[in-house]
Amino acid sequence: MSANQERSFIMVKPDGVERGLVGEIVSRFEKRGFKILALQLIHPSAELLQEHYKDLADKPFFPKLLAYMQSGPVAAFVIQGKGAVKIGRVMLGATNPQDSAPGTIRADFALDIGKNVCHGSDSVESAEREVALWFGDNIKSYSRAVDNIIYE
Ligand code: IDP
Ligand code: MG
């Protein structure tokens, strides 16, 4: 896979959907130059969320996290482009919005760690796992004329 084809799984959490932030958040990734490969409003099951957050199953906040993530639909999407995983995380900001740098999504739209508006994959491996978990393994890429302007 070429560097420009790296993918990340991004999700607007239920608080972000309810607050009308889906367009704003998707737009930030589009404007940065990332290609949107998949996009869906999903009412996630407990099973899906348990699998998605399986590394956190032992954390004391896990039950609260599952309830939060099931409090409404989420807007799940996949971005593709150079540095998608790392840049995706930088654009989201620190997990705790109190520590997020100004200009990041969490700093601009959130105050509490348990209501931090968005998710982004934390490594290339977890991105591929999460893309497959939420969208299956047959989402397609496509070419854009604008890629010749975005990339050197
Ligand atoms: P991340 O979303 O920045 O990758 P993770 O450590 O993977 O952070 O945690 C997943 C999600 O669990 C966080 O985004 C946040 O919603 C929630 N969470 C993490 N730590 C805490 C906590 O200490 N209290 C409450 N919720 C937490
Ligand atoms: Mg995480």
Q: Which residues are catalytic?
A: 119
**Strands of the sheet with 35-42, listed across from one edge:** 35-42, 74-80, 7-12, 118-120
Residue 16 pLDDT > 80: yes
Query: How far is the centre of ligand 2, averaged over its atoms, from the C-alpha of 94 (Å)?
Result: 10
Domain count of the chain? 1
Q: Within a domain: residue 145?
A: no
| Atom 3 in ligand 1: residue holding the nearest Cα | 95
Ligand 1 contacts CB of residue 126 (under 6 A)? no
Q: Within a domain: residue 115?
A: yes
Q: Within a domain: residue 147?
A: no
Report the atom number in ligand 1 closest to the C-alpha of 55: 7
Ligand 1 contacts CB of residue 119 (under 6 A)? yes
| Helix or strand run (H / E) with residue 9 | strand 7-12
Find the distance separating the first CA and the last CA of the chain, reported in whole Å. Answer: 18
Q: Which pLDDT value is given to residue 99? A: 98
Q: Smallest Cα–Cα separation from 11: which of 72, 56, 75, 54?
A: 75
Domain limits for position 48: 3-138
Residue 44 pLDDT > 90: yes
- pLDDT per residue as tens digits for the range 46-88: 999 999 999 999 999 999 999 999 999 999 999 999 999 999 9
Q: Within a domain: residue 19?
A: yes
Residue indicated by tokens 């490594």:
123
Give backbone dihedrals phi and psi of 141, rounded to 5 degrees, phi first.
-90, 180
Q: Within a domain: residue 17?
A: yes
